Amino acid sequence: MNEAMKNQLKLVKDTLKQAELYQHAANVLSYDQETICPPKGMEEQGEVGAFLGNEAYKLVKDPAFIEAAEALFNQQDELSDPLDREMVIQLHRDYAKIKNITPEMNYEASLIGNKAYVDWLEAKQKADFTLFAPSLKAVRDMNAKQIRLRDVHSEDIYDDMLDDFEWGVTQSDIDAWFGAYKTRILPLLKKIQASPKKIRTDFLTRPVTDEQQRQMARYLLEVMDYDFSRGAFTTTEHPFTSGLGRNDIRITTNYNPIFFASNIFTIVHEGGHALFEQLQPEHNYDYYLTGGKTMGMHESVSRFYENVIGRSPEFIHLIFPKAKDIFKEQLADVTEKEFYEAMNTVTPSLVRTEADEFTYTFHIIIRYEMEKEIMNERIAIEDLPALWNAKYQEYLGVTPSNDTEGILQDVHWTFALGYFPTYALGNMYNAMYYKRMQEDFDVKEAVLAGDFRKINTWMKDHVFAKADILAPKDWIRDITGRSFTPDDFLDYLEEKYSAIYEL
């Protein structure tokens, strides 16, 4: 590597470091906005965050930075460090998406997203979609405008939106995978609903306190070996995990006073996201590669801990004594078998985040099908609640009574479309690598023993190690030795729930 390249590499890394500082500050403000910021301060808080985020954006749009990064990309074979090569490849890929987006437009998009979040929160609280509709249209239009500014984009720009969240995955892929899901799982759902097996769930809605739920959340994170010296947790309206820095990975949850299971699985889900961030290769931070992992990869991990591990009989056996201790009155007359079955009951429901493992993917299919209609402008924004309600009736046989438990339940459309399919892809990914994990050690035995260090180490070595540098289809093949297939997940559901419902 010659002297000119060394100087270019230094300029690139110095600029990325400065941008990282601005973005870190913006992320802290965003975390504050969604947790403890007072309602009347939210929009102003968001404006400050948008300003800081845009300062970071200006740095990576600086002509000197772009010239240096593109020069390094064109001479990548001369870079001796493979991680430097990966860094400039990712910078080139990112630049192709933002090349024609000015800082002014980026700032405008940030303000649109900020206003959308504030409008969504008010609309959800008032159960009135009309309060959010204008912002949703603005988000949709801005997403579309930015994609169409790219030098190269698909004829159907929803494919580009999917690619932004799940690199290399298209609508034709998802149509096939979701089609397989509907073909095999809809008939099984009907068999489960017709099964004479009755599962007791009355105790799930017994009132609990926030303090009881906080204690349970803390315990579950300790079981998972979440590093509290590098993280914390609190509550929010819509739970999320925020990776603020290499030593600051924060979790949020939500306490439902009449459905304590919601917090249990939310905290395990978000804990999975956090472990992915805490246990990713340390050098990712030094080479600014922490943004390479896709949302499908991330959701695969969170839903692996939440469902494959968290709803297993072994995990329930592990945590049941503590649950009985914390929820003394609520679980006084409940057996471990009843608790396990209740955690896995199949009950078509209205709210995605509280859906059972079996019907969850139908919630995603509904959103995916709607997003295609929205982005192709085949439906007016104002008519979306009616379509939402119709699809819930079609797939799950339930109809929302208001917009809060219907179309306003999720925060995602305040910033982008194309995210939702990644949740379902995550289920399919983790079924594949769970099968591979079982070849190396007895996973069930490790869960029974509470040996999450063993599980997490395997995840670190196999699932997390290359997530920031491989495209999803290559990543899952690297882990499992096989091409992607939804079949492992469908087999898992059929085997597990046929046993529970004695089919």
- Domain ranges across the chain: 3-153, 171-500
DSSP codes of every residue in 419-469:
-THHHHHHHHHHHHHHHHHHHHS-HHHHHHTT-HHHHHHHIIIIIITTTTT
Residue 394's Cβ-side half-sphere holds a number of Cα atoms within 13 Å equal to: 12
Using a CB cutoff of 8 Å and minimum separation of 24, what contacts does 197-202 make?
A: 197/500, 197/501, 197/502, 199/341, 199/342, 199/345, 199/500, 200/334, 200/338, 200/341, 200/342, 201/342, 201/345, 201/347
CA dist 188 and 420 (Å) reads 24
* Helix/strand/coil percentages in the chain, nearest 5: 70, 5, 30
Confidence of residue 238 (pLDDT cuts 50, 70, 90): confident
pLDDT in the model for residue 142: 97
Name the pLDDT band for 1 (thresholds 50, 70, 90).
confident
Residues 304-359 pLDDT 10s: 999 999 999 999 999 999 999 999 999 999 999 999 999 999 999 999 988 999 99
- The answer to whether 346 and 359 have CB atoms below 8 angstroms apart is yes
Neighbour-count burial of 413, counting CB atoms closer than 10 A to its CB (0-12 exposed, 13-18 middle, 19+ buried): buried
232, containing H or E segment: strand 231-235
Distance CA 312, CA 451 (A): 15
User: Which one of 270, 277, 357, 405 is the catalytic residue?
Assistant: 270
pLDDT in tens, 114-132: 999 999 999 999 999 999 9
What's the mean pLDDT in 194-208?
A: 96
Q: Alpha-carbon distance 456 to 64, whole Å?
A: 42
Whether CATH 1.10.1370.30 fits 171-500: yes
Q: Is 270 assigned a catalytic role?
A: yes
pLDDT tens track for 449-475: 999 999 999 999 999 999 999 999 999
- Does the pLDDT value for residue 71 go beyond 90? yes
Distances (CA, A) of 471 to 368, 431, 459, 475: 21, 18, 18, 6
Contact 257, 208 (CB under 8 A): yes
Instruction: Assign 248 to helix, strand or coil.
Output: strand
- In this prediction, residue 353 carries a pLDDT of 85
What is the reported pLDDT for 354? 85
Please say if the pLDDT value at position 7 is more than 90.
yes
Number of residues in the chain? 503
Angle at 409 between CA 417 and CA 215, to 5 degrees: 115
Residue 43, both tokens: 């929009």
Average pLDDT across the chain, whole number:
96
The predicted model scores a pTM of 0.93
- Asked if residue 127 lies in contact with residue 404, where contact means CB atoms within 8 angstroms, the answer is yes
Q: With 90 as the cut, is the pLDDT of residue 231 above it?
A: yes
Q: How far is CA 112 from the centre of its chain?
A: 22
Give me the sign of the Cα torsion angle 425, 427, 432, 433.
positive
First to last CA, the chain: 65
Kindly tell me if the per-residue pLDDT of 429 is higher than 90. yes
Backbone torsions φ then ψ of 150, nearest 5 degrees: -70, 145
Beta strands across the sheet bearing 248-253: 231-235, 248-253, 241-245
What is the spatial distance between Cα 282 and Cα 246, in angstroms, rounded to a whole number? 8
Angle at 219 between CA 222 and CA 351, to 5 degrees: 110
- What is the pLDDT, as a whole number, of residue 250? 97
Beta strand 248-253 with 241-245 is antiparallel
Q: How far apart are CA 301 and CA 431, in angstroms?
A: 10
E strand segments, 89-168: none
**pLDDT tens per residue, range 81-109:** 999 999 999 999 999 999 999 999 999 99
Looking at the predicted structure, is the pLDDT value of residue 177 above 90? yes
